[in-house]
């Protein structure tokens, strides 16, 4: 007591009454919700289990995954093009990209999806051919713009607007000095973009894109209004027949949850990896071997 | 006589909006000459330097670098801008070293030095790597080639930047306040590399606040203020015995 050799004793923290209250309250609410969810027969957990791996649900899940990947890939490519256009010094080009971005970000995706599904009302026929000649053929837009095509077009065009802003943000994070250094070495604009700007913009683009993927995965549920049999629509088709609405919505929700959690693991890894607080870019430790260096980033 | 490594400027004018930053600038730099430009900030000295590398475009006047009109070709009634490709070719002959180094952070020191020869000139990678190692050794960075810019000190980064410019085999090197962003104790190592370069006969234009360097290494000196060349002449003469009152008052403050 009162000695000077007390360094080995643990230092205890004070727990305030509010801390205990927080514990107790959270646990009580948790138990309440859990017992309600488990004991309320209307949840019909048996039916949830029965349909969880049902073939049509899995097929819907596959379609959801396909829509996510396809529209993310196409949306990112289009977004890259828009971002390059947006930062062009040719005014009309940059204004055109700006209008596109604002138009698609300023209207609801749901409205856009329904619009593309019904676009044949505006343009019944699509001419494919060489302008001002007779060469070409007319395509019926109504048959071309089926539900899945409309879904892909709608999701892609919308995503492109968001990706364009993300990519442009990444570009503008690259300092002016980098561009000047590339210019003073005599690099062409394309090379400057590929070797200097894009590699340095990646750290801010990649984590944000990860977030977009997660958002897109859930966002695909909107295309159910077009009658595309993705995950949500597959569940809806079943409960329209069996009236087991809640259990099937739970099935769909659980799948969305599982996939989102699976995606957020690599996402948080990416975020950590790219947010290291230095100007260094993430990389694997390179060995000081000439062969390694030859295969370096100058490819 | 070859015009390689020479700069000729006549009546160069440049303004940003309403502000005129270069007013009727004349400048002659002979091959192998070291020319220092000094002056207070905002005097237009950096802008002049950046015009010689095409980072800024002058509004009017003549600018000949290596004996060629820079960035433009002349016809009877006008100067026409060169295509980006031709401008890039002219730029490869003028090395630029920046205050903030501007190394590519996504490349190692060696890759930075190789970037010009490989990406712009399409040189063989093995040869370029060997040359890069030589150049890095010549600026005192033997064995640092595998490091990334963030792993190097400011002085080391600036020396890599000098090596990167030298890799293009330029006839002229431009330095835009190359030591202003450095810790005082790292200034010497960069100046030493620059002195070495001057000794080898490189044509150099240096915007600097290092009066010691100007006195010791420079052949000619330009004092600029508010877009004008106030005084020019032999470096030691101008520094030792300035003729203009404005030069005198500036030198009194910085020396």
Q: What is the per-residue pLDDT across A209-266, written as a single tens digit (0 to 9) for each?
A: 989 999 999 999 999 999 999 999 999 999 999 999 999 999 999 999 999 999 888 8
Mutate to test the interface with B, among A174, A186, A201, A276 (most CBs of B within 10 A): A186
Chain A nearest-CA residue for B143: A288
Model confidence pLDDT, tens digit, residues A79-120: 999 999 998 889 999 999 999 999 999 999 999 999 999 988
User: What is d(CA A276, CA A212) in angstroms, rounded to the nearest whole number?
Assistant: 21
Our CA-based measurement puts residue B116 at a distance from the nearest CA of chain A, in whole angstroms, of 6
For helices B125-138 and B154-166, give the axis angle rounded to 10 degrees.
Answer: 130
Q: What CATH superfamily is the domain A50-130+138-298?
A: MetI-like (1.10.3720.10)
A-chain CB neighbours of B55 within 8 Å are 180, 183-184
Instruction: Indicate whether B220 belongs to any domain.
Output: yes
Chain B nearest-CA residue for A202: B106
C-alpha distance from residue A180 to each of A192, B86, B123 (Å): 10, 17, 22
CB contact B108 to A (< 8 Å): yes
pLDDT reported for residue A291? 39
Out of A184, A199, A279, closest to residue B150 by CB: A279
A-chain CB neighbours of B107 within 8 Å are 296-298
Instruction: Indicate whether B187 belongs to any domain.
Output: yes
pLDDT mean across residues, chain A: 86
Mean pLDDT of the region B48-62:
91
Query: Which is more confidently placed, A277 or A160?
Result: A160
Query: With 50 as the cut, is the pLDDT of residue B24 above it?
Result: yes
Query: With 70 as the cut, is the pLDDT of residue A6 above it?
Result: no
Given an 8 Å threshold on Cβ–Cβ distance, is B91 in contact with A278? no
Out of A178, A183, A297, closest to residue B111 by CB: A297
Q: Among A128-137, A174-183, A229-238, B105-114, which stretch is predicted with the lowest mean pLDDT?
A: A128-137
User: What is d(CA B231, CA A176) in angstroms, rounded to the nearest whole number?
Assistant: 32
Chain A nearest-CA residue for B86: A186
Q: Among A124-138, A274-288, B58-72, B92-106, which stretch is predicted with the lowest mean pLDDT?
A: A274-288
pLDDT reported for residue B74? 85
Given an 8 Å threshold on Cβ–Cβ distance, is B102 in contact with A178? yes
Query: With 50 as the cut, is the pLDDT of residue A294 above it?
Result: no
Given an 8 Å threshold on Cβ–Cβ distance, is B115 in contact with A195? yes
Given an 8 Å threshold on Cβ–Cβ distance, is A185 in contact with B92? yes
Mean pLDDT of the region B68-82:
87
Given an 8 Å threshold on Cβ–Cβ distance, is A183 in contact with B168? no
Q: How many beta-carbon contacts under 8 Å exist across A and B?
A: 102
Numbered residues of chain A with Cβ closer than 8 Å to any chain B Cβ? 175, 177-178, 180-189, 191, 195-196, 199-200, 278-281, 283, 286, 288, 290, 293-294, 296-298
C-alpha distance from residue B252 to each of B115, B223, B237 (Å): 43, 13, 15
Instruction: Indicate whether B64 belongs to any domain.
Output: no
Mean pLDDT of the region B125-134:
94
In chain A, where the domains are located = 50-130+138-298
Classify burial at A115, counting beta carbons within 10 Å of its beta carbon; exposed 0-12, middle 13-18, buried 19 or more: middle
Model confidence pLDDT, tens digit, residues B157-215: 999 999 999 999 999 999 999 999 888 888 999 999 999 999 999 999 999 988 989 99
What are A46's two structure tokens?
């048996």
Question: Which are the contacts of B64, defined by CB distance < 8 A and separation ≥ 6?
Answer: B3, B6, B7, B8, B9, B70
Mean pLDDT of the region B106-114:
93
CB contact B103 to A (< 8 Å): yes
Contact at 8 Å (CB) between B213 and B35?
A: no
Instruction: Indicate whether B61 belongs to any domain.
Output: no
Given an 8 Å threshold on Cβ–Cβ distance, is A293 in contact with B119? no
Neighbours of A10 (CB within 10 A): 5
Out of A177, A199, A298, closest to residue B102 by CB: A177
pLDDT mean across residues, chain B: 91
CB contact B129 to A (< 8 Å): yes
Range list of H helices, A225-286: 231-242, 245-274
Mutate to test the interface with B, among A88, A173, A181, A297 (most CBs of B within 10 A): A181
B-chain CB neighbours of A277 within 8 Å are none
User: What is d(CA B195, CA B246) in angstroms, rounded to the nearest whole number?
Assistant: 28
Query: With 70 as the cut, is the pLDDT of residue A283 above it?
Result: no
CB contact B62 to A (< 8 Å): no
Given an 8 Å threshold on Cβ–Cβ distance, is B151 in contact with A280? yes
> How does residue A139 score in pLDDT terms, banded at 50, 70 and 90?
confident
pLDDT reported for residue A130? 76
How many domains in chain B?
A: 1
A-chain CB neighbours of B94 within 8 Å are 184
pLDDT reported for residue A3? 66
Domain CATH for B158? 3.40.50.300
Residue B47 belongs to what domain range? 31-56+93-252
């Amino acid at each position: 007591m009162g000695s000077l050799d007390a360094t080995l004793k643990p230092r205890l923290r004070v727990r305030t009454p509010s801390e205990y209250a927080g514990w107790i309250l959270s646990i009580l609410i948790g138990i309440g919700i859990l017992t309600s969810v488990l004991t309320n027969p209307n949840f019909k957990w048996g039916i949830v289990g029965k349909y969880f791996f049902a073939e049509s649900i899995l097929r819907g899940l596959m379609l959801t995954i396909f829509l996510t990947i396809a529209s993310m890939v196409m949306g990112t490519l289009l977004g890259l093009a828009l971002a390059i256009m947006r930062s062009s010094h040719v005014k009309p080009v940059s204004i055109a990209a700006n209008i596109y971005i604002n138009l698609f970000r300023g209207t609801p995706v749901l409205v856009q999806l329904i619009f593309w599904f019904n676009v044949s009302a505006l343009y019944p026929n699509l001419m494919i051919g060489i302008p001002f000649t007779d060469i070409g053929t007319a395509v019926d837009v109504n048959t071309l713009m089926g539900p899945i095509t409309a879904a892909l077009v709608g999701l892609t065009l919308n995503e492109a607007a968001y990706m364009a802003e993300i990519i442009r943000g990444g570009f503008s994070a690259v300092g002016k000095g980098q561009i000047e250094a590339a210019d003073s070495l005599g690099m062409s604009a394309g090379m400057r973009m590929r070797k200097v700007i894009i590699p340095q913009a990646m750290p801010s683009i990649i984590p944000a894109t990860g977030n977009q993927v997660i958002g897109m995965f859930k966002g695909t549920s909107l295309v159910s209004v077009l009658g595309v049999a993705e995950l949500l629509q597959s569940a809806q088709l079943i409960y329209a027949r069996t009236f087991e609405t809640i259990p099937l919505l739970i099935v769909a929700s659980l799948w969305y949850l599982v996939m989102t959690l699976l995606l957020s693991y690599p996402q948080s890894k990416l975020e950590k990896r790219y947010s290291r607080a230095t100007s260094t870019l993430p990389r694997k430790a390179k060995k000081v071997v000439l062969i390694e260096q030859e295969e370096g980033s100058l490819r | 006589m070859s015009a390689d490594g020479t700069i000729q400027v006549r009546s160069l004018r440049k303004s940003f909006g309403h502000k005129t930053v270069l007013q009727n600038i004349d400048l002659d730099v002979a091959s192998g000459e070291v020319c220092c430009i000094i002056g207070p900030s905002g005097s237009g000295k950096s802008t002049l330097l950046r015009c010689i590398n095409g980072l800024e475009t002058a509004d009017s006047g003549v600018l000949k670098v290596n004996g060629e009109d820079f960035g433009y070709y002349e016809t009877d009634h006008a100067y026409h801008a060169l295509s980006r490709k031709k401008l890039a070719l002219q730029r490869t002959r003028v090395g630029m070293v920046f205050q903030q180094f501007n190394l590519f952070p996504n490349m190692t020191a060696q890759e930075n030095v190789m970037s010009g020869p490989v990406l712009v000139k399409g040189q063989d990678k093995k040869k370029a790597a060997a040359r890069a190692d030589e150049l890095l050794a010549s600026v005192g960075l033997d064995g640092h080639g595998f490091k990334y810019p963030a792993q190097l000190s400011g002085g080391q980064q600036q020396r890599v930047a000098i090596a990167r410019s030298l890799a293009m085999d330029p006839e002229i090197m431009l330095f835009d306040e190359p030591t202003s962003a450095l810790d005082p104790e790292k200034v010497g190592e960069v100046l030493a590399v620059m002195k070495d370069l001057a000794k080898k006969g490189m044509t150099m234009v240096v915007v600097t606040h290092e009066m010691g360097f100007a006195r010791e290494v420079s052949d000619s000196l330009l004092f600029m203020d508010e877009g004008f060349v106030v005084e020019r002449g032999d470096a030691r003469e101008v520094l030792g015995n300035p003729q203009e009152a404005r030069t005198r008052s500036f030198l009194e403050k910085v020396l």
